[in-house]
Copies of this chain bind each other. A is one copy, B any other.
Amino acid sequence: MPHPEPLYDVAQLGHVELLTPVLDDSVRFFTGVYGLDLVATEGDCAYLRGWGDHDLTTLKLTSSANSGLGHVAWRAVSPQALERRVAALEARGIEGTWTEGDIGHGKAFRFTAPGGHLTELYYETEKYRPAGDKVPALPNQPQRFTGRGAAACRIDHINLLVPDVVTTRTFMDDTLGFKLREHLVPGSGQGEVGAWMSLMNKAHDLALTREPADTQGRLHHLAYAVENREDVLRAADIFMEQDVFIEFGPAKHSRTQGFFLYVYEPGGNRMEIFSGGFHIFAPDWEPVTWNTEAGGRSTAWGLDVPASFHAHATPPLS
């Protein structure tokens, strides 16, 4: 059932937990090469953030037998909005549980979304407070720019594989207010295979791609943003010099028009360095349907998508 008005109860992708079978290697990659800062470690977990993230932590790495998504967490715009969204979830029959929180955030409503991904909704966060040589020259910046590695700036979006794109995107819209911006419906009768959704002004905070295997809950990729396309090109040089496998890019997506670069972190999870993409200010944005008639091009300039981009996800199929 469509909302009577655009719903702005959810603010942003707050943080993501990734599982990795090689925690130390993953931490080394994310800090030294991808360019995040290590904020805390606790047990088998490490907490990180980008230099442009205002929250204390946006990435949690957890040691695990397999790679993949631990959970994805969305931040509500207010305590009241959190309550409203939990009520909407429960009205939908979702059975969730409240957690006490984690390093960087307070209590969270935890549930499994259609498609099998563990999801959290929360409001209370701890902001990052720079000190010492982290204090920036500009007080509107969360910390000093250091330029280490690819210097990934801030958490941007996540792409999840789901068995049925329409089911999941409808659920995310109905319960949380994710707005459909673009979807891919090839003309061959196979139905909708991709959807790009966002909360406010971005082209996407969440992408849903059809899971090709008989499984669920898998991760396609997690993306951090950088400021310019030149930063993406520079990241490619950094990855090349550090022997990081570059799967795809730098190039320009047709959907979202973002400038992308995909690599695998040592644990096997696909990570993107992303810049740009168009912005959406119209509250009555008309979803764009990509089909055979609309060209259906995968990338803006015609670059072919490598087969692994369709086949690889985490955890890998056993």
B-contacting residues of A (Cβ < 8 Å)?
4-6, 8, 11-12, 52, 54-55, 75-78, 80-81, 125, 127, 136-141, 144-149, 154, 181-182, 200-203, 227-231, 233-234, 236-241, 243, 245-246, 249-252, 254-257, 259, 276, 278-279, 281-283, 285-286, 288, 290, 294-295, 297, 300-303
Contact: A138 with B229, CB < 8 Å?
Answer: no
What's the dominant secondary structure at chain A's contact region?
loop
A11 → chain B, closest Cβ, in Å?
Answer: 4
Contact: A238 with B147, CB < 8 Å?
Answer: yes
Contact: B5 with A78, CB < 8 Å?
Answer: yes
Contact: A300 with B257, CB < 8 Å?
Answer: no
Q: Which residue of B lies closest to A149 (CB)?
A: B147
A252 → chain B, closest Cβ, in Å?
Answer: 7
Given known contacts A11-B282, A233-B229, A139 and B295 CB-to-CB distance under 8 angstroms: yes
Given known contacts A55-B282, A78-B5, A200-B201, A137 and B295 CB-to-CB distance under 8 angstroms: yes
Contact of A233 among B6, B125, B237, B252 (CB under 8 A): B252
Q: Which residues of B contact A241 (CB under 8 A)?
A: 136-137, 144-146
Contact: B288 with A139, CB < 8 Å?
Answer: yes
In the complex, what distance in Å separates the CA atom of A80 from the CA atom of B297? 38
In the complex, what distance in Å separates the CA atom of A154 from the CA atom of B140? 25
Contact: A288 with B140, CB < 8 Å?
Answer: yes
Contact of A230 among B8, B229, B240 (CB under 8 A): B229
Q: Which residues of B contact A140 (CB under 8 A)?
A: 181-182, 203, 254-257, 278, 288
